[in-house]
Structure 1
Amino acid sequence: MPQQNTPSQFGKDDVKIEANDVVYNGYFKMVKYRFRHRLFAGGWSDAIERELFERGHAVAMLPYDPVTDKVVMVEQIRIGAMMASDSPWQLEIVAGIIDKDESPEEVAVREADEEAGLSVSKLERMTSYLSSSGGCSERIHLYLGLVDASNAEGVHGLPEEGEDILVHVVPFITAMQWIKEGKVENAASLIALQWLALNRDRVRAETSNIG
């Protein structure tokens, strides 16, 4: 039995998958699982059935100009926000799905160019996390990308993918104020901006030393 106040020592070997059936396979995929798992009190659970939303894994990157202390954010329409927010248009950091044989770093650089017209001079890994582990298998890899934001502007995105993305370049303190005002609602952007709040002095000092 795991000790209290410490992370569980259970792992994948403590789950028995009895069945998995694809119930939908379109732009995304839905799989129905039946499984049992070990219990904290000992023994095994009864059979549990859950639907899992499988959309692959993704990368999100906060473009930051340490010289001017500005961040680049993008605004675009989101179907999820259309159903669950006051506005379907969301303020976000750049992001994209990892395609086969792509590294997270390659995706970060590609999306910075496609969504904001930015070249990334340096990447720093922040963290990775499960976006909604109760029903989705997606893992998001989060990065800080150092950029020159002086020429970042306009509308970007790939028309063939239905993208219509507006670039915003704002002082870091403005982005943090947007968080307080509830204008930034998605997890990747919230986590990335809070990470930068904790690491901003170090990042700017390191950049100054390099210069």
Structure 2
Amino acid sequence: MSVKPLKDRVTLVSSEVLADDWVPLVKHTIDYERRDGRRERLTREVYNRPDACAVLPYDSARGTVLLIRQLRLPVFMKGDEEPMWEACAGVIEDEDPQEATRREAMEELGYQVHDLHLVTAMYASPASFGERVWCYTASYKPSDKVASGGGASDEGEDIEVVELPFEDAYGRIATGEITDAKTVLLLQHLKLSL
């Protein structure tokens, strides 16, 4: 049985903005033709987050990585009372993903990063979020620290910068301390690359 391309099987019926404070939340109703030819009406709520970038800087000479820790309200509300361990990340504004990655590394980490390597551009939660995250590894050394980091306080950021031996950071996946998807992916990629 030949199946039509997805673009020919989806018809947008309506879109309704449910909230538009921090990130727009839109309720979409579609008519969908299933692979077997049956049609059904579906309703989905989608957060229209812009694309983002993430970077895991690695100092190969010292075997260290730079991570951040910060409050993530949804995680806190589920009972995880520690700041979340993450790779440096942020929204891509009017720039390409590499420029955004360098800017975020400066804002959050206080470091210039070099040798950006694109690991993947992934959708972390495609059922509800349109956000694609461009995930990079990069190199750094102690002399690349040129600012205090900590994030943009006017955006409510209160970021702790942590330098760890790579093996210590990687081990925190198994202990359940690192549970952020982009960070797990980047640490596992780096482990496979070493």
TM-score by length of 2: 0.91
Give the residue type in structure 2 aligned to 1:30. Answer: L
- Structure 1 residue 125 corresponds to structure 2 residue 121: no
Structure 1 residue 155: deviation in Å? 6.1
- Structure 1 residue 109 corresponds to structure 2 residue 102: yes
Tell me, yes or no, if the aligned pair for 1:154 and 1:166 is still in contact at 8 Å. no
Tell me, yes or no, if the aligned pair for 1:154 and 1:167 is still in contact at 8 Å. no
After superposition, the C-alpha distances for 1:95-147 in whole angstroms (9 at most, x for unaligned) are: 00111x21110111001111111111210000011121111111111001111
Alignment: residue pair count: 193
1:15 is matched with which residue? Answer: 10
2:33 is matched with which residue? Answer: 38
2:140 is matched with which residue? Answer: 147
Give the residue type in structure 1 aligned to 2:115. Answer: K
Tell me, yes or no, if the aligned pair for 2:16 and 2:26 is still in contact at 8 Å. yes
After superposition, the C-alpha distances for 1:149-181 in whole angstroms (9 at most, x for unaligned) are: 467597622111111111111111101111111
Structure 1 residue 71: deviation in Å? 0.6
Tell me, yes or no, if the aligned pair for 1:60 and 1:188 is still in contact at 8 Å. yes
Tell me, yes or no, if the aligned pair for 1:149 and 1:169 is still in contact at 8 Å. no
- Which segments of 5 or more consecutive residues in structure 2 lack a partner in the other structure? none
**Which is further off, 174-183 or 13-22?**
13-22
- Which segments of 5 or more consecutive residues in structure 1 lack a partner in the other structure? 3-7, 201-211
Tell me, yes or no, if the aligned pair for 1:79 and 1:88 is still in contact at 8 Å. no
Q: After superposition, where does 1:63-78 map in structure 2 within 5 Å?
A: 63-78=57-72
Structure 1 residue 86: deviation in Å? 2.0
In 1: Cα distance, 2:142 partner to 2:35 partner = 51
- Structure 1 residue 135 corresponds to structure 2 residue 111: no
Structure 1 residue 148: deviation in Å? 0.9
In 1: Cα distance, 2:150 partner to 2:171 partner = 25
Q: Percentage identity across aligned positions? A: 32
Structure 1 residue 37: deviation in Å? 2.0
Task: Give the secondary-structure state (helix, strand or coil) at the position aligned to 1:46.
Answer: strand
Aligned counterpart for 2:173 among listed residues 172, 179, 182:
179
In 2: Cα distance, 1:198 partner to 1:9 partner = 38
- Structure 1 residue 24 corresponds to structure 2 residue 24: no
Give the residue type in structure 2 aligned to 1:36. Answer: D
- Structure 1 residue 47 corresponds to structure 2 residue 36: no
Give the residue type in structure 1 aligned to 2:26. Answer: V
Task: Give the secondary-structure state (helix, strand or coil) at the position aligned to 2:39.
Answer: coil
Structure 1 residue 182: deviation in Å? 0.5
1:206 is matched with which residue? Answer: none
TM-score by length of 1: 0.84
Task: Give the secondary-structure state (helix, strand or coil) at the position aligned to 1:156.
Answer: coil
